[in-house]
């Protein structure tokens, strides 16, 4: 059996700003309210692979608590993720627990910003799996009937098997300055897989370290009028030989009535390297997010701009996100947070 080298990277979301616990553990608690739950789903290349498309499911939650001075806050978070990579039967299951401390550096006043620094960390457990039930090999080809006989032995030393559970450690920092609900800036950095865990499937094989992934992200919001503002953002990530950059902006229309629908929409671009080539535009993304007082629902679509677009007619990925904010009565804090 001949195996060629393979290159891969962690799952990603085009709406990265709506996947805070995956983006940066320091974003834990950075929202207005006491609790938050977010759900994300991404389907990639369904136009080519149909039911065997690359799919990622994720759910996360974080909860915030006031410190005695009420200008600082602490939080804890939970994340669960499942990533399935098409017809090759390769998947990853992952869960983590974490927390963050949000420190007020200076309290703003009239036309002055409040400054905050957040530090967070996560400890997770993951497992990689392979299920070859959807794969076929030459021994399973029935030349007489011109079909694949999946019940016939493949003759290959692989089957359905799982790697050992591995321990994973992530850490991040976030700084932001906020003037009011519609004017703020932020910047953060994250290190994922800081311990570079061994993800080898075989006990007697050399260790296969999971590549360390580091990322930097920044963004903000600036208001043009009482109702209209713009939210630019960018995310740069490097993991082993893989590098990616996603940037763009959403325009937000808000009528400031919590029981009426507000809207965000805008264009995004995703760049990545092709290992032996430099950074190239891989996809253009159109995003729309609907906002109510406690609920955000987003949908985005990736239009393939690379050479793969010739095969899938530019139909890349569809992505859905939903966020629910808990704002109970009696919970008050002086900690100001941006609305990412």
Predicted local confidence at residue 111, as pLDDT: 81
pTM, two decimals, is: 0.87
Contact 116, 178 (CB under 8 A): yes
Half-sphere exposure of 68 (CA within 13 A, CB side): 0
Neighbours of 248 (CB within 10 A): 19
pLDDT truncated to tens, each residue of the chain (340 aa)?
334 444 456 888 999 999 999 999 999 999 999 999 999 999 886 555 556 668 899 999 999 999 998 899 999 999 999 998 766 678 899 999 999 999 999 998 778 999 999 999 999 999 988 776 666 667 777 777 777 776 777 666 555 567 789 999 999 999 999 999 899 999 999 999 999 998 887 776 778 889 999 999 999 999 999 999 999 999 999 999 889 999 999 999 998 887 788 999 999 999 998 767 788 899 999 999 999 889 999 999 999 887 655 555 556 789 999 999 998 777 778 889 998 8
Identify the structural domains of the chain with CATH numbers, from first to last: 16-326 (2.40.160.40)
Q: How far is 94 from 125, CA to CA, in rounded Å?
A: 6
Q: Quick one: which of 215, 184, 231 has its CA closest to 13?
A: 215
Q: How far is 248 from 303, CA to CA, in rounded Å?
A: 14
Tens digits of residue pLDDT in 246-295: 999 999 999 888 778 899 999 999 999 876 778 889 999 999 999 988 99
Phi, psi of 69, rounded to the nearest 5 degrees: -80, -10
Alpha helices in the chain (DSSP H): 20-23, 46-49, 309-312
Predicted local confidence at residue 148, as pLDDT: 74
Predicted local confidence at residue 143, as pLDDT: 72
Which residues, other chains included, contact 148 with Cβ-Cβ below 8 Å and sequence gap of 6+? 136, 140, 141, 142
Predicted local confidence at residue 201, as pLDDT: 75
Predicted local confidence at residue 183, as pLDDT: 95
Q: How far is 92 from 323, CA to CA, in rounded Å?
A: 23
| Distance from chain centroid for Cα 206 | 30
Q: Quick one: which of 292, 218, 278 has its CA closest to 248?
A: 218
Predicted local confidence at residue 5, as pLDDT: 43
Predicted local confidence at residue 44, as pLDDT: 80
Task: Give the CA diameter of the chain.
Answer: 83
DSSP reduced 3-state for 252: strand
Half-sphere exposure of 227 (CA within 13 A, CB side): 6
Predicted local confidence at residue 3, as pLDDT: 43
């Amino acid at each position: 059996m001949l195996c060629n080298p393979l290159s891969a990277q962690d799952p990603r979301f085009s709406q990265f700003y709506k996947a805070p616990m995956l983006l940066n553990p320091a974003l834990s608690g950075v929202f207005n309210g006491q609790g938050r739950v977010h759900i994300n789903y991404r389907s990639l290349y369904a136009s080519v692979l149909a039911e065997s498309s690359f799919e990622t499911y994720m759910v996360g939650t974080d909860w915030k608590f006031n410190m005695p001075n009420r200008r600082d806050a602490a939080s804890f978070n939970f994340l669960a993720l499942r990533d399935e990579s098409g017809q090759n039967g390769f998947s990853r299951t992952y869960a983590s627990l974490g927390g963050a401390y949000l420190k007020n550096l200076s309290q703003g006043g009239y036309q002055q910003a409040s400054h905050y620094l957040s530090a967070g960390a996560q400890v997770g457990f993951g497992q990689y799996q392979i299920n070859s039930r959807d794969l076929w090999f030459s021994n399973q080809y029935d030349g007489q009937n011109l079909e694949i006989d999946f019940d016939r032995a493949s003759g290959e030393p692989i089957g359905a098997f799982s790697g050992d559970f591995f321990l994973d450690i992530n850490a991040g920092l976030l700084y932001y300055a906020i003037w009011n609900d519609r004017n703020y800036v932020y910047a953060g950095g994250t290190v994922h897989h800081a311990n570079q865990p061994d993800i080898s499937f075989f006990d007697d094989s050399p260790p296969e370290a999971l590549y360390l992934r580091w990322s930097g992200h920044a963004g903000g919001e600036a208001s043009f009028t009482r109702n209209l503002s713009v939210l630019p953002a960018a995310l740069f990530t490097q993991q082993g030989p893989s590098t990616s950059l996603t940037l763009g902006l959403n325009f937000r229309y808000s009528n400031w009535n919590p029981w009426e629908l507000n809207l965000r929409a805008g264009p995004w671009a995703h760049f990545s390297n092709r290992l032996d080539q430099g950074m190239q535009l891989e996809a253009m993304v159109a995003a729309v997010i609907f906002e109510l007082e406690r609920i955000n629902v987003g949908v985005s679509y990736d239009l393939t701009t690379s050479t793969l677009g010739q095969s899938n007619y530019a139909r890349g990925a569809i992505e859905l996100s939903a966020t629910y904010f808990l704002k109970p009565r009696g919970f008050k804090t002086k900690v100001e947070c941006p609305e990412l």
